[in-house]
Chains A and B, each alone.
Chain A
Amino acid sequence: MRLYDLLLYLYPASFRSEYGTEMRHIFSQRRQMASFPVAVIGLWISTFFEILVNAANVHWDVLRQDLRYTARGLARSPGFALTAIVVIALGIGANTAVFSITDQMFIRPLPFPDSQRLVQLWENTPDSARSEVSPPNYRDWHRMSSSFESMGAYVGSNGTLFGRGYPRRLGGAAVTTGVFAALGVEPLLGRSFVSDDERANAPGVVVLSHGFWQAEFGGDPKVLGMSLRFDDATYTVIGVMPSSFYFPTRNALFWRPLSDSTTTDLNRGNNFLKVVGRLKVTVTTVQAQAEMRVIADQIEHSYPQNNENSGVTIASLAGSIRNEVPAQARLLIAALFGASLCVLLIACTNLASLMLTRGIARQKELTVRAAMGAGRQRLVRQLLTESLMVAVLGGVAGVFVAIASVPLLATLAPADVPFGQPTALDIRVLVFAALLTTLAGIAFGMVPALRSCSAAKLAALRTKSGTSVRREWLRSVLVAAQVTASIVLLISCSLLIRALWRIQAIDPGFRIENVVTVNTSLAAAPYADLTRKLEFYSRVLPEVRALPGVASAAFISVLPIMTGGGIQRVNGVDDDGASLRFVSPDFFASMGIPIRLGRDVTERDTLDTPLVALVSESFVRRHVAGVDPIGQTFSFSGGIRTIVGVVGNIRVRGLERDSEPQVYLPYKQMPVRVGLLYSPKELVVRSSIPIAGLIPAIRQTVQRADPEMLLQVRTFKEIITAQTETRVVHAGVLGAFAGLSLLLAGVGVHGLLSFRVSQRLPEIGLRVALGATTADILRMIFRQSLLLTSVGCCLGLVLGSAAGWWIRALLAGVDPIDLPSIVSAAGLAILMTATGTLFPALRAIRVDPATVMRME
C-alpha cells in the first residue's frame, strides 16, 4: 500500500486530501480480490498507468480552472494587469536581448557538427604558448599525426573585388582542403576545395558565403562557374556554403585555397597559419597532445634552428576563438548581462510588492474561499498560477521587446566569433526567455502567495486584519532592494558615461574638423614599384589641391589613431620604439599638427639628399632632451636621420592607448621596396569649406588617376566617432536600464507608501483631530521613505562601488570610487523616492478627521 500512497502524490494535494482515503480503500479491496500473482501484477500495472493519466488530467482540470479564474481576475483589474505585464516584459526583454549576445560570446557551442571534437593547434614557443604555425611545421603535423580525422590550416585573407561596381574590399580567408572537412560542413551548392586546387599554379577557385551569394547574386544558383576578379587574379566560383556557416569570423565572405606557394614556404620561423583539427572519436585531447609532443620533438631534432624548445598546444576551438575576442569586449558584455539581471531583479521585486498589495486587497475573497474549505495549498497554487500567467504574458511581450532591441545591441556583438548576427528568434534564446519567465513568475509570486494564504487563515479567525506588520516589513525590504539595485545601475552607468566623456575629451593632437581621408590600395601591386607610386602622388596631389575649397592635401603611410603597429627601434635599442610614418609635404598642415621647431618635409628631401626626419615633442623629451634638437642625428629604420623639425604629439594607437614617440620621414626618402604598412597610401585632405560637399570631387579626382583603385573615403570625424561607438551604445543601453530601474523603484516606493497611508488613515485622522500639524504628518510619511532610501542608498553605494571596481577595465582611468558618480546616483535616488512619496503624502495631509472617524 505504501507504493500506492506514493503514487497518489502525483495528484494535486487538494484532490489527494479529498479523495485519497477512498481511493486507497478501493484499491485495497481490489488488491484483496486479486488472488493470483499474475492478477496482482496486472492490477499494479493498470493502476500505475491509470494514475499517471488521471493525475495529469486532474492537474490539467485545476490549471484550466485557475487560468479561467485568473483571466477573469486580471480582466477586472486591467491597470494592475497591464502594469505587471509591462514591467515583466521590460525585464525579460532586456535579459533576452542581452542573452542573445552573451550566448554567442560565452556559452553557445560552435555551430559545427560534434563541435566538442574540434581543436585548435598552436605552436608552443619559448615566447608564447599559443603562437601561429609556420607552413612547413603545419605540413609535418598534418603528415605525421594520426589523432585527427582531418586537419586544416587557414589564415584571414581579405581581397579586393573588381568588376562588380566600385572595387570593394571584402573579408575572406585562405583555407586548406582540410578546414571544411575538419569543421564537418559541406557546401550548399557546388563543391569545396580538393587537393588539386592547392597546387601552386592551379586555376583560381573560390567558395562564397551564403550571405554574400544572396546579397551579390540574389541567390542565383547559376553563380557556379562564374568568374570573379579578386585583387590581381581571376577565380571561378565552385561552391556556396550554407547560411549558418561562418568561419573563422562572421566577416569572412569568401574562401580561397591556401595555395602551395604559401604552404610550402620553407621558413620555419614564419608563423602565420592557424590550424584546426577534428579529433578522432576514440582520441582524447590528452592523447592527441602526447602524440603531438613526440612529433614536435622530431621536428625540433630535424630543424633545431627555428624549433628550439617548441612544442604544440592543443585547445578547444571554441575556447581559442573566444579567447581572441578582446578582454574589454568580453567585459563589456558581461557587465551588460549583469545590468540586465539587475533590471529583472528590480522588475521581480516590484511585482512581488504589487502582488502583496493585491493579496491584501483580495484578503476577503481568499478568506471566504479558505472558509469554504479550499486548502492553503490550493490557494497558493491558484495565486501562483496568476503570477505565472502574468509572467508568461510578460514573457511573450518581452520576446517582442527583445526582437526589437537586438538590432540596437548589434554593435556590441563581437564579429570575431563564427556565428551570424545575434537574433532573439533563436531556439536557445527563446528557451532562455521561457526559463527566465518561469523563474520570474515563481520568484515574484511565491512569497506573496504564501503570505496571503497564511494571512487568509489568520483573518478567517479575526474580523480585522492584524497581519500587516510583517507584510509591510517584507515590502519595505523589497523596496529597499529596488533602491539598492537602481543605485548600482546608476553608479555603473554614470562611471561609463564619465569614461566616455573622458575619452571624447582626449585631445588626439590634431584637428578633425573638415578633414577627409581616402584610403587607397597604393601599397599593393601594381604600385609596389616606387616609381609608379611617385607618379601617382605627383598626379593626384596637385589635382586635389586645385579643387576649390581644398586647403591642403598630403599622403601618409598610416593614419593617426588607426593602426597600432609600425614601431621601429631608435638607435638600435630594443625597448625604445618610435612609430614611423612616411609623409608628403603639407601633411602637418592638413592634419592641423603644429610644427614647433624647424621645417616641414619638402619635395627636395629625396634619396639623393641627406636623410632627414621630423620628430614629435615626446621624441625630443626622450632622446634629445636638453639640447637644440634641430641637427641632432639618430639611427632609425636602416639609416642615420638628421632632425629638421619638431611637431606636436598625436595619438597613434587609438584614443584610449598611450602613444610611442613619433617619427615622420619624407615620402621621397622611402626605400625602393617598402613594407605594405609604411607605404604612403592614405590621402588626407583639409578643406576651408564644409567637407561633405567636397567628398565626391575628391573621390572622382583620385579615381580618375586609376579607375580600378579601391578607395575608402571617410571623414576624420567618422573615424573618431567609430572609436567610441561601442562605448556610446553600451553607455546608452546601461543608461536605459538605469532609467528604467529608477522608474520602477519610484513606482515601488509610491505603491508602498500609498498603501501605508491608506492603512493608517484612521491613525492620521486621529492625530489631526488631536492637533497634529501638516508638518507633523509630512514628517511622519517622509520619515519612512527616507529610511527606505537611506538603507537602499548605503547598500547601493557599497555594491555600486564593487561593480565599478569590477568594470574598472572599461573606465579609461576614471576612479571606480568616483565621487560625482556616487553623489549623482544618490541624488537621483533621493529625488525619485521624494517624487514617489509626494502623492501619498499629499493624500495624508488632506485627511479630514471627521470623515475618517465616521468610517471607523
Chain B
Amino acid sequence: MPVKHEEVDALLPLPPATFHILTALADADRHGYAIIQDISARTQGELHMSAGTLYRSIQRMQEQGLIVETRQRPAPEDDDDRRRYYKITAFGLAVARAEARRLTQMVKLARARGIAPETR
C-alpha cells in the first residue's frame, strides 16, 4: 500500500518516545522489554523508558498504524508467552525516515549558526 505524504507529515514532529520505539523496531521485531533495553543501550543508559510511557506510546502507535503486533514468535526456547512482539509497518518506517530527515535538517540549521558542534 503506497504511503501518502500528507499522512506522514500530519504526524510530524514525532514525540521522542515514539521516534525511539520506531528506531528500536527498525531492524528487528521486539517485545516491550527488549524495546526498553534497546533504547537504553543505544543511548548509553541515558534514556530509561518506563513501562507506562512505553505502552501508552505503543497503544497510540498501533492506532496510528505505525506498528503492529506480530504473530511470528521466536523459537520456543527464547519465547515467553507473556510477551507480545511488535513490528514496524511500512508507514511507520516512512514516518521514522521523515522524522530523521527533519531532525537532520534542524541540526544542519543549527550548525550553520554555530550552535551545534561539527562532527566528522
Contacts and interface: CB of A to CB of B under 8 A. Distances in A.
Sorting the interface of chain B by its residue count into under 10, 10 to 19, 20 to 34 or 35 or more gives: 10 to 19
Contacts of B111: none
| Max chain A Cβ within 10 angstroms of own Cβ: one of B50, B53, B84 | B50
B33 A61 contact: no
B50 A46 contact: yes
A54 B33 contact: no
Contact of A58 (B33, B59, B82, B84): B59
B51 interface: yes
Interface string B20-64: 000000000001110010000000000000111111101110010
Contact of A22 (B53, B63, B82): B82
B83 interface: yes
A26 interface: yes
Given A22-B31, A22-B32, A25-B33, A50 B50 contact: yes
Interface string A551-566: 0000000000000000
Sorting the interface of chain A by its residue count into under 10, 10 to 19, 20 to 34 or 35 or more gives: 20 to 34
Interface in A23-51: 23, 25-27, 29, 46-47, 50-51
A699 B101 CA distance: 90
B83 A25 contact: yes
Interface in A49-67: 50-51, 53-55, 57-58, 61, 65
Contacts of A46: 50
Nearest to B52: A54
B68 to A, nearest CB: 14
A804 B5 CA distance: 71
Nearest to B32: A22
Interface stretch (A13-21, A197-205, A662-670): A13-21
Contact of A54 (B31, B53, B63, B82): B53
Contact of A21 (B50, B56, B82): B82
A599 to B, nearest CB: 99
B33 A29 contact: yes
A22 B86 CA distance: 13
Nearest to A61: B60
SS class, residues of chain A in contact with chain B = helix
Contacts of A22: 31-33, 51, 55, 82-84
Contacts of B60: 61
B55 A61 contact: no
Interface string B75-119: 000001011100000000000000000000000000000000000
A23 B53 CA distance: 10
A53 B56 CA distance: 11
B32 A58 contact: no
Contact of B52 (A29, A50, A61): A50
A50 B56 CA distance: 11
Contact of A50 (B36, B53, B83): B53
A27 B51 contact: yes
Contacts of A29: 33
Contacts of A65: 63
B83 A61 contact: no
Closest 6 CB pairs of A and B: A54-B52, A19-B55, A50-B50, A23-B51, A26-B51, A26-B33
15 contacts: A15-B56, A19-B32, A22-B32, A23-B55, A25-B83, A26-B32, A26-B51, A46-B50, A51-B52, A54-B50, A54-B53, A57-B56, A58-B56, A61-B60, A65-B63
